[in-house]
Structure 1
Amino acid sequence: MAPATRPLLLCATLMLLLLLATSRQATGAVLATELRCQCPRTISRIDFKTIQSLKVTPPGPHCTQTEVIATLKDGQEVCLDPEAPLVRKIIQKILNKGKAN
């Protein structure tokens, strides 16, 4: 990742976390208090229309990498690759949707 994009990604991540904190949590969501990474494997492509909610967990003592967990409309949870261009677009689209409200 280019050094110039890191502050933007951090800002986007923090804004998304704030948006998610004010919305309802899906049942069965992965708890942020787990002391290990929740996403040993990730996918880089997903249909935006299938996502019900999105949770972004920044790196911390529990895990050294940013984790993006999508809850799909069928209740399934999938881990998305936070570096994938499509995932970044999805996060940006959600952030822009939150600003429009």
Structure 2
Amino acid sequence: MIEKFQDHATNERTNLAWIRTAIAIAGFRILVERLPSTPNNTWAGLALVLLSATLVLLASLRFLVIRQQIDAQRLDRLSFGRIEVLFSATLALLLLTVFVFLLRLVRSG
């Protein structure tokens, strides 16, 4: 039996949820590319893919840190908080990218 199995399973489910979110963001690029062609489409699509990759990287980092803390039987809230701030910043960049893209699309068309 795996020690602290419930904690490890919860950590893995959270990681998979972030990965699904990143895949959905990358998939949003398809919608952006199908809109009327402008140079902004390419940049917005590239930004979505890069932010998606960043989310995958951060989710993996978070998963490994939390797994190590569960194994050591100590949950250090300080390192957990730093990762969450990085997640929030990445999501804020994502929202800014989508907002700027849609604003330029409305102005050009």
Larger % of strand: which? Answer: 1
TM-score normalised according to structure 2 size: 0.28
Greater helix fraction, Structure 1 or Structure 2: 2
Give the TM-score, by structure 1 length. Answer: 0.30
Higher relative contact order structure (alpha carbons within 8 Å, sequence separation ≥ 6)? 2
Structure with max Cα Rg: 2
